[in-house]
Chains A and B, each alone.
Chain A
């Protein structure tokens, strides 16, 4: 078996069966000498780690970005900033961000979560802005004229009408955060990505298993959020025009 510089096989020998076996049964590993790797327990542990990381990071991002985005959108201020911010946020190189935080601040959950939160803020802010900004002005006008306070307008008129866009922002953020949580091991926190990036520990089957698991996790989260979005969207918005 030819070996490349990093110790991974050039001829892939991973197989679906091998990957599935890896997920459920602990395997012996070349590197950690004796201690078994893989198996359903470790899978669950790392999955939960990744989920927890994602949820906390998103919570922080929401707490920071949502109020700002909603406010700016409601006041129709700083449009170019909000939109460019969203686009620019997608240009943040995740790997370098994680590595930098690890190097500069330290490793571990706390620091990784911060890096992830930073990644989640731009899409949430930008979408919150766009969603609220684009709400039909006549609806807002009518609400104001009827005596609603600014906060009430936001709560009862603008946010419900902006749900699709707001949720879109959350979903974008989730995709970015889950993707980066995958490489959280570089920041010292173990997630499913561990299986993928450490082939010499987990073997090719482990790598494939990791990739499959991460993909499944991401898609599941996305579908869940899509479902939540449908639930939250008022039926009036879902109607197709006559």
Chain B
């Protein structure tokens, strides 16, 4: 028995729930089926705009988060007292559940994609910042000492020694950030931000308990995460030829 609050959350349950273009209602009413292939085949195109929105949300947020995190990392290298406040600050923000975050931002930025992107960017910021700092910390001191002693300027050391050696860690941060963002972006719909969450709780609700819908949406999300993950892992391998060399 579905609680009233759940029904209320699903919004205008009556009309939308059974609004269908084709044979959806047959499948929807017949919820015993786990997955209706026919319905899926006929309606898969309905997911397209949301899928694209989802990709946009992820890519934009990760890019913003990456640039910001990189900037913060460089700043805190220069002025090391910044590290602790940055880590704490981003850490606290990361702790706040995305749903709460969206709605805390609402009074300031309103409903829509911007709110979602801001929140998602903050999450990616935390992950990438931490990993970037970690990566830079793990660069062997002897290499930096040698580089400086040989006459590299600070900028050259950063560019030619520290960043390349920190890149595996940084890309790992990117991978985790991207995969997480794909998942969290499903909630963007609650704040009117679009994405695949829309088909569940957003404008184009196809029903909260319509299993086929959930499977498709879930499948698309997971597939997206996997694709992004694999792509970035490929990038990571490309950037680190020295790790592939077998040790003496």
Contact = CB atoms under 8 A, between A and B. Distances in A.
Given A95-B197, A96-B200, A90 B31 contact: no
A138 interface: no
Interface stretch (A60-68, A151-159, A200-208, A228-236): A200-208
Contact of B211 (A100, A179, A185): A100
B128 interface: no
A200 B5 CA distance: 10
B51 interface: no
Nearest to A9: B111
Contacts of A102: 6, 208-209
A86 to B, nearest CB: 9
Interface in A4-20: 4-8, 10, 12, 14-15
Given A5-B203, A91-B180, A210-B103, A103 B97 contact: no
Nearest to B217: A96
Nearest to B34: A104
Contacts of B197: 95
Contact of B98 (A14, A103, A179, A188): A179
Q: Which of A91, A193, A212, A222 is the most central at the interface, judged by chain B CB atoms within 10 Å of its CB?
A: A91
Contact of B94 (A12, A90, A175, A185): A175
Interface string A1-37: 0001111101010110000000000000001000000
B239 interface: no
Nearest to A185: B5
A127 to B, nearest CB: 13
B5 A95 contact: no
A196 B99 contact: yes
A87 interface: yes
A99 B200 contact: yes
Interface string A70-97: 0000000000000000011011111111
A88 B223 CA distance: 11
Contacts of B99: 179, 182-183, 193, 196-197, 211, 214
Given A91-B180, A95-B201, A197-B99, A103 B5 contact: no
A59 interface: no
Range of interface residues on chain B?
35 or more
A31 B186 CA distance: 27
A197 B222 CA distance: 24
A8 B34 contact: no
Contacts of A197: 9, 99, 190, 201
A215 B101 contact: yes
Contacts of B176: 87, 90
Contact of B95 (A15, A93, A211, A218): A218
B150 interface: no
Nearest to A13: B107
Contacts of A91: 179-180, 182-183, 221-222, 225-226, 229
B214 interface: yes
B110 interface: yes
B19 to A, nearest CB: 13
Q: Which 5 A-B pairs have the closest CB atoms?
A: A179-B97, A91-B225, A211-B103, A214-B100, A103-B209
Interface of B: 1-3, 5-6, 8-9, 11, 31, 34, 91-92, 94-104, 106-107, 110-111, 175-176, 179-180, 182-184, 186-187, 190, 192, 196-197, 200-201, 203, 208-211, 214-215, 217-218, 221-222, 225-226, 229
5 contacts: A93-B183, A96-B200, A196-B99, A211-B103, A222-B92
Interface of A: 4-8, 10, 12, 14-15, 31, 87-88, 90-97, 99-100, 102-104, 107, 175, 178-180, 182-183, 185-186, 188, 190, 193-194, 196-198, 200-201, 207-208, 210-212, 214-215, 218-219, 222
